A = this chain, B = another copy of it.
């Protein structure tokens, strides 16, 4: 008998049960292909169909303009922390970064391997519980791009709108909030997202990149991270993570069936509002984040008596609620929705 937990882990995260059941049905044989998706040649008609279908749904859900390429890569967001500066550096000396939490910090540390990083603004001194106001940003117009982390899973801070950066190329890590709200892709140079938080399985990474930014990679860029080599080969420069791509497609199909991003967003708002309302109404729970930028995706909370955390987690698990621990770097508790 299957009794599924309510999984509040930030990623890998819950996959809709219909998706899991579909994956189960497709084992050991996908349709009447004579084999499972795991075994299919990535260059065969069946898998190419699966891959193209996933891209088509994603383009539809996000209304991706035709001047953007969609890549399905390996290496996660951490791979893109290197790929972004390597592909976009060109003749520029600097990269501009917003620092709003631990994921921004990781992206910044990696970019420093490849050039000078200018911190446009940082909320570090405020314990990463806020986003610096736009008027305080100090942008060097000569930077190759401006990078920000759309949602910080650890601090629970989320951009509620796309920042204005004039003519600068905007790059966003949307690993933890992609497809959770509408986004105007045309405002960006690059959007990337590891799949394991909002899109399904770990092991596949989405990169949405404006065409004119492709083809200028630094000679030291490993081929697997080179946007041009991957774009020219339909993300099949080498064998792609075929089964992950298939599972991602199933999740995208499910999102479409639910009513697309507007339906998902409405559900997220409902869930987050309920959680924050309960926290704010209570004298026992508290959330430290500036209410204007509270994340809909990750809700960190503290107990008035921190020594009760262990008891809280045990009690929650007994009720089927799991993975409510805060990130090991900050402690406390956290619900990822």
Is A194 at the interface (CB under 8 A from chain B)?
Answer: yes
**A78 contacts the other chain (CB 8 A):** yes
What residues of B have a CB within 8 angstroms of the CB of A21 in the complex? 27-28
22 contacts between A and B (CB under 8 A): A4-B34, A4-B35, A7-B39, A11-B41, A11-B239, A12-B39, A14-B39, A17-B28, A24-B28, A27-B27, A34-B320, A76-B238, A77-B238, A81-B222, A82-B224, A110-B222, A110-B223, A194-B239, A202-B241, A222-B222, A243-B243, A243-B244
- Could you tell me which A residues sit within 8 Å of B by CB distance? 2-5, 7, 9, 11-15, 17, 20-21, 23-24, 27-29, 33-36, 38-44, 74-79, 81-83, 86, 110, 113-114, 194, 196, 200-204, 219-225, 237-244, 247, 320, 322-323, 328
In the docked arrangement, what's the CA distance between A303 and B34, Å? Answer: 26
Per a CB cutoff under 8 Å, which of B14, B242, B323 touches A44? Answer: B323
A83 & B39 in contact (Cβ 8 Å cutoff): no
Q: Is the CB of B75 within 8 A of A114?
A: no
**A82 and B223 within 8 A (CB):** yes
Chain B residues with CB under 8 Å of A203's CB are 74, 203-204, 240-244
Contact residues of A: prevailing secondary structure: loop
- CA separation between A42 and B201, bound complex, in Å? 12
Cβ of B79 and Cβ of A12 under 8 Å apart? Answer: no
